[in-house]
Structure 1
Amino acid sequence: MSASTVMSGASPTEPRSVLVSGASFAGLATAFWLNRLGYRVTVVEVAPGLRRGGTPVDIEGETIAILKRMGLMEAVQARTLPPRRFAFKDARNATLGDMAHHPDDEAGPRYEIHRDDLLDVLCGAIKGDVELRFNRSIVAIEERPEAVSATFSDGSRHHFALLFGCDGNRSNTRKLVFGDGEQFTHFMGGYFYLKVVPDTGLLPPNSSEVFAVPGRMAMLNGYDDRTDIGFGFRTTGEIEYDYRNKDQQRRLISDRFSGLGWKVPDMLAHMGGDNDFYFDRISQVRMSTWSRGRITLVGDAGYCVSPFAGLGGSMAIIGAGRLADALARHPDNHAAAFHAYEEGLRPFVEQVQERAAIDSVQMLFPGDEAEMAERDRKLAMGDIGV
């Protein structure tokens, strides 16, 4: 039975047919492993194509091991970016502390790859084996003992043995299955803006620079042909804004950063008036369980570390790999597989989330004078934990 027959809903559920919601790192990696395990995989994505843009992804530790098992590490290495230097700057552009990232430093191999390149590698690995359906989302989910029924945005309804929510930190799957996503959101006390523009000449290629004053941070990432412009600010509580209103979000950044020194005026000038940028609160997704019946979550949908931490791609690949291992150990028992997946991965997720919530945020943009003094003390000692 083909995937398209399963999608037609004209026949009983095929025991090996599964649905993946979301075609980013978590969805593509999960689809890869499910296909390898012998499932008939359909991926649905609300966007008209792969969601491109964004900052590069760090590949290290367990992520490297999993990509090797997938047979994709050589393709990743072929697209690896040159080593970069990360520097903290003061208002006069003097360096307060810096470090270099090398492919094989003391912490083990570490690579950086453009987000779009990693998407292409993962998508290429499932091409022809997995059914990808864009411009489609799930609007209703009904779980029965023997199957999951999914109603799609085109009005059609289809049945699957299992459903995997891989649709990001604002996961629609999570909302449909577990309820309002706000109950699972842990606000980390700030907001972050990111825009990728052509090379600005504001810093050398293959380098990153950060400037901060209490409660505000400006970051530049330089590459051969582009520059990432980033701003972050701290707040005592959440602010009201419309996540669909790009004009409002631009004004938030302009109002909070106008008048600041360093390279900030030039950064603001490069923001432009288009809507091709990312703005969101800095938050994590924390859930007591990632699974319910025949449905489980992978990556940011279940355990977003924080968009600010830059670990989403790695955590998605690790999550998909760990889930595949659990399904391989329990091939005929999805409940046991989902339990093993969660029990094995949760300690690691909580450790990474805790580190991101404290060390990364306080180091990159201290909230007050006390945190600023502690950051400067660490920089003077060479303790740069980012």
Structure 2
Amino acid sequence: MVSSTFNERGADVGRRAALISGASFAGLATAYGLNRLGYQVTVVEAAAGLRRGGTPVDIEGETIAILEQMGLVELVRAKALPSRRFEFKNADNTTLGSIGVSGDQASEVRYEIHRDDLLDILFGAVANDVEVLFGRSISSLDEQAESVSVTLNDGKRRDVALMVGCDGNRSNTRRLVFGNGDQFTYFLGGYFFLKVVPETGLVAADTSEVFRAPGRMAMLNGYDDRTDIGFGFRTDAEIAYDYRDRAQQRRLIQQRCGDLGWKVPDMLASVAGDDDFYFDRINQIRMPCWSRGRVVLVGDAGYCVSPLAGLGGSMAIIGAGRLAAALERFPDDHASAFRHYEDELRPFVEQIQQRAADEGMSTMCPADEAELAARDREIAAGHMGW
């Protein structure tokens, strides 16, 4: 595996301009890397501030090495959550099998950290060194021979040497550069709902519980001060819904999961009437190429692995580190750098995507009684395969 790098470069490096779309994990880590390589970096974020909320992030392997190079691993370790136990339950709340154990200290080789804490750590690492513009998005891109002309939604134009799209699964950069529609979306056959609420008493701290029925699932993640409540369901094809209509999305969850039993009635009561939740199809982004000209994609914008992989945050940071390594190796040749970045990272991305598609959905949301029974047997035997 080729290592990532954020090494400091000398003061004689020219301050070439780079623009990053998205103040995400990918965007902030990329901003750090490009700034260290001598670029004058601007990050534009469509939201009014950092996009907060969501489930904790697992940090391990190459991601830890990158954070060490950034000088941030101690900050991550200080915010790391205790070790977590993951339990599969039946309708009577009997534990069918479990992964991991509870403990007082986080693992030395794997950390779980609240998403907002990691976001704050990454933002703090760049806030004094790069320009961050909230409430701004990209309206158009026009590539010239030696630059990209970027027009923002306020009408102002920036001419930059590199443009990096770090703007997520529904990337505006990807749409502007590679085309409209869902041509790069790989639908995994289901939908997922997630809401973070104050501690509910439904699950112990430092414990996750999952209950599954054919084609459906319910999940609880317990922490000292909050609970993640999740629901998932399978569909044969994508369903039509208005992404702005939160009441409609709550009704979908009630219709699909309301009769599940287990702890579901109390879970639904805990999320009722509040529009601050996540609901979306379970999908991946699979592209034949992650760059075009002077524009390159990092993280979910180019290669979303889906929530089933459990590696979205780590993959964003790994992608940022790999891009920085490639640009350092080819400092005056962005085309070679982008090609090297993709050639080195794509096999790992495709491996994770395939594992999530083949095993993740089957484990978390079995399609039918036969698949559920087979997965239950594997869980009881301690053979997770996922």
TM-score for the superposition, normalised by structure 1: 0.94
For the Cα contact (< 8 Å) 2:309–2:353, is it kept in 1? Answer: no
The answer to whether the 8 Å contact 1:170/1:181 transfers is no
Within 1, Cα distance between the matches of 2:40 and 2:347? 31
> What per-residue deviation string (whole Å, max 9, x for no partner) do you get for residues 20-71 of structure 1?
0000100000000000111000000000000000000000111111111111
Contact 1:360–1:385 (CA<8 Å) still a contact in 2? no
| Conserved 8 A contact 1:15-1:161 | no
Partner of residue 196, structure 1: 196
2:88 corresponds to 1:97: no
- Tell me, yes or no, if the aligned pair for 1:174 and 1:181 is still in contact at 8 Å: no
1:161: Cα distance to partner?
Answer: 0.7
Gap regions ≥5 residues in structure 2: 1-13
What is the identity, as a one-letter code, of the residue corresponding to 2:370? A
Segments of 4+ moved more than 2 angstroms: 101-105, 307-310
Corresponding residue for residue 258 of structure 1: 258
1:158 and 2:158 are equivalent in the alignment:
yes
Q: CA RMSD in A?
A: 1.3
What residue is the counterpart of 1:8 in the other structure? none
In structure 2, the partner of 1:171 is 171
* Residue ranges of structure 1 left out of the alignment (5+ in a row): 1-13
Q: Quote the Cα distance in structure 2 between the aligned partners of 1:182 and 1:265.
A: 35
CA-CA distance at 1:365 after TM superposition? 1.1
- Give the number of aligned pairs: 371
TM-score between both structures, scaled by the size of structure 2: 0.94
Q: Does 1:84 align with 2:71?
A: no
- The CA deviation at 1:116 is 0.1
**3-state SS of paired residue (1:182):** coil
SS in 2 for 1:331: coil
Aligned to 2:233: 233
Measured at CA, do residues 148 and 283 of structure 1 come closer, stay the same or move farther in structure 2, by a change above 3 Å? same
Deviation at 1:353, TM superposition (A): 0.4
Amino acid aligned to 1:160:
V
Distance 2:310 2:97 in 1: 21
One-letter amino acid matched to 2:113: I
Please list, as runs of the form range in 1=range in 2, the aligned pairs for 1:47-86 lying within 5 A after superposition: 47-86=47-86
Which residue of structure 2 aligns with residue 184 of structure 1?
A: 184
Mapping of residues 1-386 of structure 1, within 5 Å: 16-100=16-100, 109-386=109-386
Instruction: Name the stretch that deviates more: 301-310 or 289-298.
Output: 301-310
Q: Is the CA contact 1:191–1:280 (under 8 Å) kept in the aligned structure 2?
A: yes
Among all aligned residue pairs of Structure 1 and Structure 2, give the percentage whose two residues are the same amino acid.
68
Taking the aligned partners of 1:358 and 1:374, their CA distance within structure 2 comes to: 14
CA distance in 2, matches of 1:201, 1:15: 53
| Structure 2 counterpart of 1:287, one-letter code | M
What is the Cα deviation at residue 129 of structure 1? 0.2
Distance across 2 between alignment mates of 1:272 and 1:317: 34
Q: Is the 8 A contact 1:87 1:209 kept in 2?
A: yes
How far apart are the structure 1 equivalents of 2:351 and 2:260?
35
Say whether the 8 Å CA contact 2:305–2:352 is kept in structure 1: yes
